[in-house]
Chains A and B, each alone.
Chain A
Amino acid sequence: MTAPLIRVENLKVEYRSSSGSVTAIPDLSFEVAPGESLGIVGESGCGKSTLLMAIMGHLGPSGAATGRVLFDGKDIAKASPAELRAVRSGGIAMVYQDPNAALNPTLKIGRQLVEVPMLRPGVPLADAKRLAEGMLANVHLPDAASVMERFPHQLSGGQKQRVVIAMALLANPRLLLLDEPTTGLDVTVEAAVLDLVDELRQTYGTSLIYITHNVGVVAQVCDRVGVMYLGDLVEEAPVEALFAQPRHPYTRRLMACVPRLDGDKHTTSFMPIPGQPSSLRDRPPGCPFSPRCVGFTPGLCNHTVPVEDIGPNHRVRCFRHRESPLFEPAAQEIVAPAEPSAELVLEAKGLSKIYRLGGSFFGAQRRAELSANEDLNFAAKKSEIVAIVGESGSGKSTFARILAGLQDATSGKLVVLGSDLANTTASERTSEQLSAVQMVFQNPDATLNPSHSAGFPIARALKKFKVTRGGKETQSRVAELFEMVRLAPSLMRVRPARLSGGQKQRVAIARAFAAAPDILVADEPVSALDVSVQAAIVNLLLQIQKTKGTTIVFISHDLALVRHLADQVIVMYLGKVMESGPVSSLFAPPFHPYTEALLSAVPVPDPTAEQRHVRLSGETPSPINVPKGCRFASRCPRKVGTICDEVPPPERKGEAGHMILCHIPLDELAAIAPILQHKPSERAPA
């Protein structure tokens, strides 16, 4: 093996504050070879970002690192400010989690890019500009010269992330640190960014450290994976070996949380990790994972765990790793999801929502129409889960808002439990109609009032809908609802700021179920959460649905998740349904070219799987004044010809209510090869 590019030796990171110090990373050692790509996986709060900041020498005034971080033979942990700047501007560069926040909003893109090469001696502005423009072209941003002149808010999230990557590469780094670079982006954008990272790695031979909470993502871009828990690397292995033989219970659980394209709720179920990571203040003695591990053995696991070599480059820190397949079985919890009954509870007939955008106050009226929903037709039965899938801007949330009564429809019918509510907004609905439809929103951090206790919104819903009378009854009902969403009753009086993201979302779910709804509208309820938390929430929803018989309208951009939990799927693009049908028919040919692209973008947690690459070019077009032909025509990889631009495509009906809106006949679409192909024998036991 060649000399490592970076070697971390006995790194210890502490944060000191007036109330004492906490250890974020107790004792960490690893190395990355030149050209190698290391993935680091773990839940939020496990010290992954702290590790990157320690490598960058930027822990803030309260952080302190001991140990050695040898980059190219020099110790970064002891570097002077000037040496540190030299490393940052020419050795190690970083790509950040949220591209919207990582760029300075008041400086043009070009200005922010040119300062990177200009840090090197003897690079004048003109050269720096040329380099920056060239780099923007390399990260596949069309029209680089005009991007240079734009401000960050004039670019989409995916474009901004490309700019951030270009900015990092302009430093000619030998090591690139990526901190959750695709979290919060649409699946299609995520796939494109991962492709780009992979491609740039081939072109520039840069080493990578890639941090994520989603094991599925590292399968594509990494050679080696380290699994991190509370600042410890609990398992480290080449990517194939890790997926073929995960040994640490934590690794096995993380993998069992990733939704896969080859299973649904009737065959598999997620194995969420019980509880949440211990706080850094009360780190358990011995194995850090022991409080959450089903294989915890008293007297053994509470001693310090040594690192054990169990294969080529495969190291694990667990006393019981040989037995882990026994107590962490691949066969999962007994699944018994609810079965839809025949009773119709929700029906949309030709539902449309068009926003008319007025012109200016003085000038001539400019007629513009934004068609957010056009001609939506579907029906949902009792106890059914209908998933609505699409990228940002596809009109999914508009439909949710109409259903919840936050907006009215322009035309069409929306029959809920026998009455048409298309034009009845929340203020006009009766108490029964209101309690029949309840919502869970995407961002749990923003939906709970920070100055009320966690139990308050639930108690208020109970009183508002007259479910309970009197304080005593309300309190005991709130306690029941807390138990239903598996939250400790002591959390009822706690302010939301002290809850984790997953706990907040549980409170939101308890609030929605307080009114005993017939229909639950879940608008991206898990897309802001770690996969491990996502798995737990999805399991919870399925269990509650089983006992309550609630119909769930589940809005998501993640097809793998939808595959896991839905009975019926609706794929939307620019406000129009492209494909709909039962979940089983949607994930095998024939599928709509748009569904095909979405499927091919799903990160597959399996390095041996062959996933066909279908990538959409360009951005989602503006929904204002859409073309009269097929809406997807401008980005469709299977475009037939001018007919797609000019003639609205026909609804092609397949089996069991399967519908595809496309000019290509069904039998031709059916002949397309499936997206995923793998030999079952080589598959990792999940």
Chain B
Amino acid sequence: MITFIGKRLLGLVGTLLIASFLVFAVTEFSPGNVARKTLGPFAAQESVDLLYQKLHLNDSLPVRYVRWLGVLTGVIADPLQDPALKLDFKDPRGDRYFGNFGYSTLYKLPVNDVIWNRLGNTALLAGISFALIVPLSLIFGVLAGMREGSFLDRTISVFGIVATSIPEFASGVFLVAIFVVALRLLPGTSPLTTGGGGWSLASQFVLPVAVLVLYDSGYVVRMVRGSTAEVMSKPYIRTAILKGLSFKTVVWRHAVRNAMIAPFTVILLQINFLISGVVVTEMVFAYPGFGRMLLEASLFGDIALIEAATLVALAVATTTQLLSDLGYALLNPQIRVG
């Protein structure tokens, strides 16, 4: 078991290295140069060229990548914080420490000051949504799947399809129209500040969470329903029924666990979606989240922030993958890892 997790962690580090290099390579093709963006559109061309030279941006891609790695691991100092550049970029943690993602040229702040704050906001939104999506999907999925073709099944299935097929921006705007414009019950934006409209923090979460739960549980419900319906048609369920067990016992004891095996991976994949794929919802509600930050950083070409965000998103993805493998082994005794 420990060797298994050890191997997976090694794999994680490898994946992160490859992915970070790919992101580095891709920025080669994006227009504009970092020095110009750092200094702004009105800086003199000479100072841009000077900064370009100082940052050694004309070095080859692998050299620049290794340098970035050096800054990240704390082996070399962050060149942007060099006082000689007169950029006034200062990191209270110093310019040389492990986990130094560099300086965000977009927000003019150390990446570490930007990213964790945003990630925390998104994690809060994702956590609340996930805590609602999982139990709702399981309950409705099992209810629908245990009697395939029943009235309850059809109702839940139709609802699931409708919920999934409405895009988040549409349901977001729709909910805003009802609860904000018409009923005036909830705030239309969620900047996570208590000033302005005077809405409480809790009230600011209601609509973004509702949009995510609607959109995502429609999909997960259908997965759980399909898996439950398949398990209910298995011969061992017939065995259980013909033993004389009550239908409730058959479903609870014999079907649910087997029905969880297939959707389990999908459910954990929703964490990835909720962390880095909720850009649309964050944009609709002006929510200061991770996805929005990543989008802005990409549009600006803030390579340090993009790299950091990519690594965080990948780490989340790989960790949920590991969790799903472990949980899979727990649910399915046939593939217990040695």
Contacts and interface: CB of A to CB of B under 8 A. Distances in A.
Contact of A102 (B239, B249, B334): B239
Interface stretch (B68-76, B186-194, B251-259, B292-300): B251-259
A104 to B, nearest CB: 4
A106 B3 contact: no
Interface size class of B (residues with CB under 8 A): 20 to 34
Given A119-B245, A171-B244, A362-B3, A107 B254 contact: yes
Contact of A106 (B149, B238, B332): B332
B333 interface: yes
Nearest to B338: A360
A88 B239 CA distance: 11
Contacts of A352: none
B236 interface: yes
A480 interface: no
A151 interface: yes
A96 B3 CA distance: 41
Contacts of B245: 85, 89, 115, 119
Given A58-B238, A101-B234, A119 B331 contact: no
A116 B244 CA distance: 8
Contacts of A86: 244
A148 to B, nearest CB: 14
B244 A151 contact: no
A85 B246 contact: yes
A88 B249 CA distance: 15
Interface string A570-582: 0000000000000
B1 interface: no
A105 B244 contact: no
A56 B242 contact: yes
A27 interface: no
Contacts of B198: none
Interface string A375-410: 000000000000000000000000000000000000
B333 A119 contact: no
Interface in A36-62: 56, 58, 61
Interface in B281-338: 331-334
Contacts, number: 73
B243 interface: yes
B244 A89 contact: yes
Interface of B is mostly: helix
B235 interface: yes
A167 B243 CA distance: 8
A88 B240 contact: no
Contacts of A171: 243-244
A115 B243 contact: yes
Interface of A: 56, 58, 61, 85-90, 93-94, 96, 98, 101-107, 115-116, 119, 151, 153, 164, 167, 171, 362
B236 A90 contact: no
Interface in B241-278: 241-246, 249, 253-254, 257-258, 261
A101 B235 contact: yes
A89 to B, nearest CB: 3
Contacts of B261: 106
Contacts of B241: 58, 88
Contacts of B238: 58, 96, 102
Interface of B: 3, 149, 234-236, 238-246, 249, 253-254, 257-258, 261, 331-334
B280 to A, nearest CB: 38
A106 B244 contact: no
Contact of B258 (A56, A87, A102, A105): A105
A119 B243 contact: yes
A93 B249 CA distance: 18
A89 B243 contact: yes
A171 B240 CA distance: 13
Contacts of A87: 244
Given A88-B242, A106-B333, 7 more contacts: A88-B244, A101-B234, A102-B236, A106-B257, A106-B331, A115-B245, A116-B244
Given A89-B244, A105-B258, A61 B235 contact: no
Contacts of B334: 105, 151, 153
The 7 closest A-B pairs by CB, nearest first: A89-B244, A88-B244, A101-B235, A104-B236, A151-B333, A85-B244, A102-B239
Contacts of B240: 104
Question: Residue among A86, A96, A164 with the most chain B CB within 10 A?
Answer: A96
A104 B251 CA distance: 12
26 contacts: A58-B238, A58-B242, A61-B149, A85-B244, A85-B245, A88-B241, A88-B244, A89-B244, A94-B239, A96-B235, A96-B238, A96-B239, A101-B235, A101-B236, A102-B236, A102-B238, A104-B240, A104-B258, A106-B331, A115-B245, A115-B249, A115-B253, A151-B333, A153-B333, A167-B239, A171-B244
A102 B334 CA distance: 16
A119 B253 CA distance: 14
Contacts of B243: 88-89, 93, 115-116, 119, 167, 171
A362 B253 CA distance: 39
A64 to B, nearest CB: 16
B254 A104 contact: yes
A293 B238 CA distance: 36
B242 A103 contact: no
A366 to B, nearest CB: 13
Contacts of B257: 106-107
A362 B258 CA distance: 33
B227 to A, nearest CB: 13
Nearest to A119: B244
Contacts of A96: 235, 238-239
A171 B243 CA distance: 8
- Residue of A56, A87, A115 ringed by the most chain B CB atoms within 10 A: A115
Contacts of A116: 243-244
Contacts of A58: 238, 241-242
Contacts of B244: 85-90, 116, 119, 171
Contacts of B3: 362
A116 B239 CA distance: 11
B326 to A, nearest CB: 16
B144 to A, nearest CB: 15
B253 to A, nearest CB: 7
A150 B31 CA distance: 62
Contact of A94 (B234, B236, B242, B333): B242
B322 to A, nearest CB: 19
Contacts of A167: 239, 243
Contacts of B246: 85
B79 to A, nearest CB: 41
- Most chain B CB neighbours (cut-off 10 Å) among A98, A104, A171: A104
A103 B239 contact: yes
Given A61-B149, A151-B333, A98 B242 contact: no
Nearest to A85: B244
Contacts of B331: 106
Contacts of A102: 235-236, 238-239
B6 to A, nearest CB: 10
A185 to B, nearest CB: 16
Contacts of A61: 149
Residue of B240, B244, B334 with most partner-chain A CB within 10 A = B244
Contacts of B234: 101
